[in-house]
Amino acid sequence: MEIYKRILKEALDKGFQEAIVRVLESERTMTKIANSEPSVVQHWRSLDIGLYLVKDKRIFIAEVRGLDPSGTEYTLNQLFSIADKLRESELYAPLPEPGKPVEVGNLVDKNIDKYIEDPSSLAEEVISTAHEERIDYIAGMIDLKHEKEYIASSKGFEGMHEYTSMESYIRAFAGEEGSGQWSTCSTKLRRDKLAEMARIAARYAVDSKSRVDIEPGIYDLILSPMVFGNLLDYISYMASGFSILTGMSMFIKNKPGDKVASEKFTLIDNPHEPELPGSRGFDLEGVPTIRKPIIEKGILATILHNSKTAAKFSASTTGNAGWISPEPWNLIVEPGDYRLEELISEVKKGILINNNWYTRFQNYVEGEFSTITRDALFFIENGEIKTAVRKIRIADKLGNILRNIDGLTKERYDVKWWEISYPTRAPYILVRGVNTSKHTI
Amino acid sequence: MLDLVEYAVKLASDLGASYGEARYHGINGFTIYTRNGNVMGSGITSRRGIAVRVVVNGALGFAATPELTRDGVRKTVEKAVSLAKAVSQLMKKPLRQDDSRLGRARYSVVARKPFDSIPLDEKVNYMTGLWRNIQGSTKEARIPVLTVTYNEWTEEKIIVNSDGGYVESSIPRITMYYNMVVTSPAKGSLQRWEQLGGSGGLELLEKWRLHEKLPEEVGRYEEILFKALPPPTDPVDVIVGSEIVGLVVHESCGHPSEADRIMGREAAQAGKSFIKPGMQGSRIGNEYATVIDDPTIPGSYGFYLYDDEAVPARARYLYKEGVIYEHLQNRFTAPFYNTRSNGAARAMDYASEPIIRMANTYLKPGDMSFEELLESVKRGVYIKSYMEWNIDDERWSQRYVGLEAYMIENGELKGYVRNPVLEVTTKSFYSSIDGVDRNLEFYAGTCGKGEPSQGVPVWFGGPNVKLKNIRLRSTVG
């Protein structure tokens, strides 16, 4: 795979002063399931080319999908011809010196290749495992991928990152109202994780069959890793220097060292966890990745940076590039010391929430948001689950949620799905005094 | 390119597919990003490839490739067929397509002012000028951030299927996004994000008048920050502005009317629908509740004349005078309803399967003027725009938090209201409508659905709508 070096040479010969070329070569099969049968099986063999180019401090990004080499040549010509008509980027900073990529290792499982060719037995297993409970049907998907990423930069960096991934989520339905959802992810083909996912989703569906209405108000909430994982997406997005610069962060008013959360809460970005598919040894600027706390014992510890946002903040890159916007790799919440039953026993009046979706902000700077629950919810009174209840919204400030964390389980789950963008390892989490809301008519 | 697409369809049949479909799908786009009057960067997107869908033994297979050669297409068709065959053993109900009359046509949208009719530096000046224009629009408040994104793109398709469909199309579109924050140390902050979009060319920029609109908005947002009062706690009449009405009909009529969602195909992703099979003809609201989805509106962001299964597009009456009337169908859902597709299948790009999507969804306007609508309210709230919203996964309980909102007293606007929350069920909304004005306005969005998630361009809109007797909530802020 020398194409990336050739394109880099072409870009520099053309007259761009700095360049990074990224070539993604992947093979992927996704089986979608609905009504406990496959609704479609999708396959992609892709070659995606990304270009980061600089001429006289003007920054250009190009995405070219296609194997026709004239495509990148055309794009380079097109960008070069317009370069002088743009202005210098306010984000411009010279590319950083590349470092030696970290050897993460153990990110490829050849077993996955076999199931990319024919995933039918995995689909069958997931369906049959879920149906061991008295459910009606399941929906979901199993996504298998093998990807190689090649990066070359004008700073002399050359790197190759290869990994496989298994991502899956299942939603089980039982009776008129019962439903439960769970997800999993790994760099390996993990049948045990698929089976655990199917069982948890099915169990939640069965347990939430008979529901009653609940009045909105202030409750202690136990958020499952699925729910908290979704909120972590927004928390980590807001911890990006780019989000702060563009007014999309509640941390706009904060600096590292500020207390922003309960001291019981620590969130790590760990790109070196071989089990999680976001792991990698170098970022998109060729900088070695590092494990770092984003929030440590309640203190904002790290703003995620690439070289450009770092320059704006007079800081150093954290190895999280993103050519424009820095991003986390794997989000890991440090565990607590509770078992789930013990966490429930800490609640006088509260709700345990299996899943949520549609998180939207009135104002990112203030952290004002709401999200609507879906799947199983259980009302907790005096330390015991009393009954399954119907949907309700969490409608509060994200800052309040972080500050009011009061307990976490020891056991954590690796989750990723539609509403969780980054591979996430999270426990169940108890948040005190959260505002909930519901339709008035 | 047509020969490759036709080759794919023929090969699918030769390999035993009962249905074969191939789509060349190319997207070429150019983007400029600015922040506070400075260019951050610009970008080019070029995605070209061929998507193949096949039905084998009643199972659906999809494969896509960017390799635009006979060999690349052959491997892709073989993969789609072999995967469909492999999972077909798990199928309980084999898929079949309807017998829709399919198009054989070519069409294109012709921009009045093509993308290259204005030099690039003028486009840059246009964008950076927006920051200059809002300076001086506030008295005390600061504007720490204004980001603006400009995106022009052309979508080209060649669609061929084994039932005789053949459609070539080319559609240019422009979309812009802006995000602004207005702050005051004493009063906190307020944020506004909006997307604009349409099919056509640079004439859209003239229509959007952003250089006039943004300074006016900033001034109002400062007033809201300093002067707005909490919403009333007792039930009042609420005039819902067309921007919110558009979102309401998109979320609580368009999405639940997607036949694939009703049949459970998206149950683990975007969810199911409160509309169950057999509910066509059931009442969902009063006589004002007529919602139409029409892909054929000229200039619209969701414009098309044939869908990605080559079915001719037409207006669909999803709710008609308060009754659940017609669902959005593709050729594979229609047989379950003993009907034919109404042309709702669309894919985001070559790497995406065509699924049922809305195009341009709107509530039918009435005859009144806005002033007449206002005069009919003794005490109430007018919510003109929003930021936060969401709806549950069956499209029943929905929430919209107003940004620009006013008290109404005796038919007149009196002062600002801070963050009024309209939180209602779908049936309550459509049953509480007490009047609609004649001002039909459309708003642009990128609608997400599917796995992998596909964002497609849509418009949603409506007139201003009066709701009777609604209890509003406040936010925690």
Average pLDDT over residues A392-407: 98
Q: Are A422 and A385 in the same domain?
A: yes
Q: What is the pLDDT of residues A230-276, one digit of tens each?
A: 999 999 999 999 999 999 999 999 999 999 999 999 999 999 999 99
Q: Are B322 and B197 in the same domain?
A: no
Residue A419 near residue A230, CB atoms below 8 Å: yes
Q: Are B217 and B322 in the same domain?
A: no
Task: Assess if residue B270 is contained within a domain.
Answer: yes
- Nearest 5°: the CA angle A287, A289, A295 is 125
Per-residue pLDDT of chain B (477 residues; tens, 9 = 90+): 999 999 999 999 999 999 999 999 999 999 999 999 999 999 999 999 999 999 999 999 999 999 999 999 999 999 999 999 999 999 998 999 999 999 999 999 999 999 999 999 999 999 999 999 999 999 999 999 999 999 999 999 999 999 999 999 999 999 999 999 999 999 999 999 999 999 999 999 999 999 999 999 999 999 999 999 999 999 999 999 999 999 999 999 999 999 999 999 999 999 999 999 999 999 999 999 999 999 999 999 999 999 999 999 999 999 999 999 999 999 999 999 999 999 999 999 999 999 999 999 999 999 999 999 999 999 999 999 999 999 999 999 999 999 999 999 999 999 999 999 999 999 999 999 999 999 999 999 999 999 999 999 999 999 999 999 999 999 986
Q: Are B34 and B170 in the same domain?
A: yes
| Cα B431 → chain centroid | 24
Where does the pLDDT of residue A3 fall: very low under 50, low under 70, confident under 90, or very high at 90 and above? Answer: confident
Q: Are A97 and A227 in the same domain?
A: no
Q: Which residues in chain B are contacts of A243 at CB distance < 8 A?
A: none
Tokens at A359, concatenated: 């998180």
Compute the nearest-CA separation of A69 from chain B (Å): 11
- Residue A68: its pLDDT value, please? 66
Task: Assess if residue A197 is contained within a domain.
Answer: yes
The chain-wide mean pLDDT, for chain A, equals 96
CATH code of the domain covering residue A182: 3.30.2290.10
Q: Are B202 and B296 in the same domain?
A: no
Does residue B252 sit at the A interface (CB-CB below 8 Å)?
no
Where does the pLDDT of residue A73 fall: very low under 50, low under 70, confident under 90, or very high at 90 and above? Answer: confident
Where does the pLDDT of residue A69 fall: very low under 50, low under 70, confident under 90, or very high at 90 and above? Answer: low
Residue B146 near residue B131, CB atoms below 8 Å: yes
Q: Is the pLDDT of residue A71 over 80?
A: no
* Host domain of residue B212: 2-227
Q: Are A62 and A24 in the same domain?
A: yes
Q: Are A180 and A201 in the same domain?
A: yes
- Nearest 5°: the CA angle A361, A363, A364 is 80
Give Cα separations from A241 to A237, A312, A436, B276 (angstroms): 9, 9, 31, 46
Domain ends where: B227, B244, B266? B227
- Residue A395: its pLDDT value, please? 98
Please report the sign of the dihedral spanned by the C-alpha atoms of residue A107, residue A113, residue A116, residue A121.
negative
pTM: 0.97
Task: Assess if residue A290 is contained within a domain.
Answer: no
Distance, CA of B424 to CA of B419 (rounded, Å): 16
Say if the Cβ atoms of B451 and A324 lie within 8 Å: no
Q: Where are the alpha helices (DSSP H) in B315-407?
A: 370-375
- Residue A169: its pLDDT value, please? 98
Q: Are A159 and A224 in the same domain?
A: no
Domain ends where: B169, B199, B227? B227
Task: Assess if residue A218 is contained within a domain.
Answer: yes
Q: Are B218 and B249 in the same domain?
A: no
How many residue pairs from chains A and B have C-beta atoms closer than 8 A? Answer: 297
* Host domain of residue A214: 210-232+335-437
Count: domains in chain B: 2
Residue A289 near residue A305, CB atoms below 8 Å: no
Beta bridge partners of B46: A64, B28
Task: Assess if residue A98 is contained within a domain.
Answer: yes
Task: Assess if residue A245 is contained within a domain.
Answer: no
- Nearest 5°: the CA angle A84, A85, A91 is 80
Distance, CA of A61 to CA of A52 (rounded, Å): 5
Task: Assess if residue A29 is contained within a domain.
Answer: yes
Q: Are B116 and B220 in the same domain?
A: yes
Phi, psi of A99 (to 5 degrees): -120, 180
Q: What is the pLDDT of residues A126-160, one digit of tens each?
A: 999 999 999 999 999 999 999 999 999 999 999 99
Q: Which residues in chain A are contacts of B390 at CB distance < 8 A?
A: 357-360, 370-372, 393
- Residue B88: its pLDDT value, please? 95
Q: Are A31 and A124 in the same domain?
A: yes
Does residue B354 sit at the A interface (CB-CB below 8 Å)?
no
Say if the Cβ atoms of B390 and A362 lie within 8 Å: no
Say if the Cβ atoms of A62 and B353 lie within 8 Å: no
Residue A34 near residue B271, CB atoms below 8 Å: no
Residues 322-351 of B with CB under 8 A from A: 350-351
Q: Are B176 and B258 in the same domain?
A: no
Task: Assess if residue B477 is contained within a domain.
Answer: no
Task: Assess if residue B383 is contained within a domain.
Answer: yes
Q: Are B142 and B253 in the same domain?
A: no
Domain ends where: B227, B262, B290? B227
Task: Assess if residue A423 is contained within a domain.
Answer: yes
Q: Are B206 and B255 in the same domain?
A: no
- Give the H or E element holding residue A268: strand A267-269
Count: domains in chain A: 2
Q: Are A163 and A223 in the same domain?
A: no
Q: Are A138 and A60 in the same domain?
A: yes
Task: Assess if residue B186 is contained within a domain.
Answer: yes
Distance, CA of A247 to CA of A230 (rounded, Å): 20
A interface mutation test: which of B4, B30, B42 has the most A CBs within 10 A? Answer: B42
- Residue A17: its pLDDT value, please? 97
Q: Are B183 and B285 in the same domain?
A: no
Say if the Cβ atoms of A63 and B43 lie within 8 Å: yes
Compute the nearest-CA separation of A336 from chain B (Å): 29
Nearest-by-CA chain A residue for B93: A37
Q: Are B182 and B283 in the same domain?
A: no
- Residue A67: its pLDDT value, please? 62
Q: What is the pLDDT of residues A284-293, one digit of tens each?
A: 999 999 999 9
Task: Assess if residue A284 is contained within a domain.
Answer: no
Q: Are A221 and A96 in the same domain?
A: no
Q: Are A162 and A28 in the same domain?
A: yes
Task: Assess if residue B475 is contained within a domain.
Answer: no
Q: Are A149 and A219 in the same domain?
A: no
ipTM of the predicted structure? 0.96
Q: Are B204 and B347 in the same domain?
A: no
Residue A159 near residue A286, CB atoms below 8 Å: yes
Task: Assess if residue B421 is contained within a domain.
Answer: yes
Say if the Cβ atoms of B390 and A395 lie within 8 Å: no
* CB-closest option in A34, A43, A118 to B264: A34
Task: Assess if residue B245 is contained within a domain.
Answer: yes
Task: Mean pLDDT check: name the lowest of A63-67, A164-168, A222-226, B48-52.
Answer: A63-67
- Residue A1: its pLDDT value, please? 54
- Residue B386: its pLDDT value, please? 97
Does residue B57 sit at the A interface (CB-CB below 8 Å)?
no
Q: Are A175 and A215 in the same domain?
A: no
- Residue A382: its pLDDT value, please? 98
CATH code of the domain covering residue B196: 3.30.2290.10
| Cis peptide upstream of residue B66 (ω within 30 degrees of 0) | no
Average pLDDT over residues A345-359: 98
